[in-house]
Structure 1
Amino acid sequence: MPPDSNVEESENKKQKLQKWLDQNQYTRRGILRYERIFGTTYVSVGGETTTRMFTEKLGLQPEMKVLDIGCGIGGSAFYMAKRFGVDVHGIDLSTNMIGIAQDYRSELEPMVKHRVQFYVDDATSMGYPDSFYNVVYSRDTILHIKDKLGLFNRFYKTLKPGGKVLITDYCRGDQEHSERFLEYVKSRDYDLHTVQAYGSILEKAGFTNVEAVDVTGLMIEMLVAELAKFSNMKDRFIEEFCEDDYTYIKQGWEEKVERCKEGDQAWGLFTAVKM
């Protein structure tokens, strides 16, 4: 296939995924529904609680540069900029996510505001500067991407020597899966690996000190806590959205807990270093 055909095919795939995200899972209304259960500015498991836990592992210092892949509506970027004084470049393929992140950014005090930048971009095809970032950070995003090795090669290229990567992502349990789980994965077009297989891909990309940790227990703990919080806000949520939306979110969380407890779904925490 000629080079320009490859570029055109890649662009078509990007546009197709972007359209699907913005019109299905991540409509503006859908994002705001998720935010109510995750917490303000967050759309990933555990919200600020897990962000605080995980960023403490990175040794962040003022003026460091962080690339946030799949930054969502900005929660982790805002937290890192405020807590550690780092500069965060956040990218997401969903225009709705970036739109909401920009709305929140406009409300920040100038010092933090200018440490955080958000862009609509495709992590699989955008240009990555060589040896530029101190940290590449990604929360529950790479499940959408099939060529994980190609992506991790890009992460390796853009990190400075000694730079770190921290990823959390949905994974699959190390067992034969139920038809219900396989249908769920297919319906979302996810590309899921076992936790250990995921870590092996990071090693193939050249990373060292790779730690691939199954934190499914923590995911269950966070989901249960979020469900309890969500139940307490039921009336306010229904007033803002509707009862069908409340049922949809509640049922989705309950199903995630069930998938995790049955061993179908897992949650992986991955850290690695570029030597």
Structure 2
Amino acid sequence: MTTTDLAERYSRRVALRHERLYGHGYQGPGSEAVFAELTSRLDLRPGLRLLDIGSGLGGDSFRLAERHGLTVVGLDAAPDMTAVCVERAAEQPLPGLSFVTGDVRGSQLLTPDSFDVLWTRDCGAFVPPADKLPAWRRLHAALRPGGQVLVTDYCLGPQGASAEFAAKMAAWGQYMLTPDAYGAMLGEAGFTDVAVEDRSRHLMDSMLAGRRLLLDEQEDFLAEMTREEYDGLLDRWDRKIGFCERGELVWMVLTARRAQS
């Protein structure tokens, strides 16, 4: 998926609609419990510089800056996403928090040894296969020796994709790997201590909660969109739940490091 495609897919209207289903600031699982579990995997200390890759509507960026005292740079390829984050940061200013529009594959933010932590949530699947390893090699170079990595992403289950799921991935502009292939890729990019865990139950819980909200607040949604748009959104959620139930769609958590030397 190109940067232009991402910008169109995540327009302000679409992003804010999905945010209602996932929670303020999020386009994927973003509950307090999930955030706490993810941050517990890292040694986060005030003053560390973190790059939030695919920062979306900024849910994690704000939490990381406010609760852990980090200097956080949010990077997202969709200008509308960045614009919302900048507006919210003006209303809730936090020291060291900033947002930039850009693509990790070419962003000038990725200078050598410039970040202590790389944090990325649910966006790697949008990177085309030929660009995945080069992007992670760039990120490896941008991470300081001893630096930490946390990734969550949508992945392909070990049994592979049905024709229906393959068609949906193509429609979504996603190129999913299996969790094992994802971990192997980071190892090839130079990272060490790579650990991968299937946390699909978090994705399922989040999608079921979003579906309940769609049904419980149907009248409110229909005041903001057409019946066709509402039915399409509900159908999308039902399909994703089905893919997850069948093990085709997996939600992965990965941690890694850059070696000290």
1:143 CA displacement: 0.7
Q: Is residue 109 of structure 2 the alignment partner of residue 125 of structure 1?
A: no
Q: Is residue 158 of structure 2 the alignment partner of residue 174 of structure 1?
A: yes
Deviates more, 1:38-47 or 1:154-163: 38-47
Q: Is the 8 A contact 2:21 2:209 kept in 1?
A: no
Alignment equivalent of 1:231, drawn from 190, 207, 215: 215
Q: Is the 8 A contact 1:210 1:270 kept in 2?
A: yes
1:47 CA displacement: 4.5
**1: CA distance between counterparts of 2:160 and 2:148?**
33
**2: CA distance between counterparts of 1:256 and 1:101?**
27
1:101 CA displacement: 1.0
Aligned to 1:188: 172
Aligned to 1:155: 139
Distance change (3 Å), C-alpha of 1:17 and 1:240:
same
Identity of counterpart residues, as a percentage? 30
Aligned to 1:36, the other structure's residue is in SS state: helix
**1: CA distance between counterparts of 2:243 and 2:84?**
30
1:33 CA displacement: 0.6
- Number of residue-to-residue matches in the alignment: 256
- Spell out, residue by residue over 1:210-249, the C-alpha distance to the aligned partner (whole angstroms, 9 max, x if none): 1111112221122112222333332223223343333232
Q: Is residue 127 of structure 2 the alignment partner of residue 145 of structure 1?
A: yes
Correspondences of 1:1-275 after superposition (within 5 Å): 17-23=2-8, 25-108=9-92, 110=93, 112=94, 114-127=95-108, 128-146=110-128, 147-275=131-259
Which amino acid in 2 is paired with 1:179? A
**2: CA distance between counterparts of 1:227 and 1:56?**
28
Aligned to 1:124, the other structure's residue is in SS state: coil
1:48 CA displacement: 4.3
- Spell out, residue by residue over 1:68-117, the C-alpha distance to the aligned partner (whole angstroms, 9 max, x if none): 00000111100101111111001111111111111111101x4x1x3211
Which amino acid in 2 is paired with 1:122? D
**2: CA distance between counterparts of 1:227 and 1:247?**
12
Which amino acid in 2 is paired with 1:270? L
Which amino acid in 2 is paired with 1:17? T
Q: Is the 8 A contact 2:180 2:196 kept in 1?
A: yes
Query: What is the aligned-residue RMSD (CA, Å)?
Result: 1.7
**2: CA distance between counterparts of 1:21 and 1:105?**
22
Which amino acid in 2 is paired with 1:196? D
Q: TM-score, normalised by structure 1?
A: 0.87
Which amino acid in 2 is paired with 1:119? V
1:196 CA displacement: 0.5
**2: CA distance between counterparts of 1:49 and 1:241?**
31
Deviates more, 1:185-194 or 1:61-70: 185-194
Q: Is the 8 A contact 1:166 1:272 kept in 2?
A: yes
**2: CA distance between counterparts of 1:194 and 1:32?**
29
Aligned to 1:169, the other structure's residue is in SS state: strand
Which amino acid in 1 is paired with 2:257? V
Which amino acid in 2 is paired with 1:88? V
**2: CA distance between counterparts of 1:176 and 1:193?**
10
Q: Is the 8 A contact 2:30 2:59 kept in 1?
A: no
Q: Is the 8 A contact 1:149 1:205 kept in 2?
A: yes
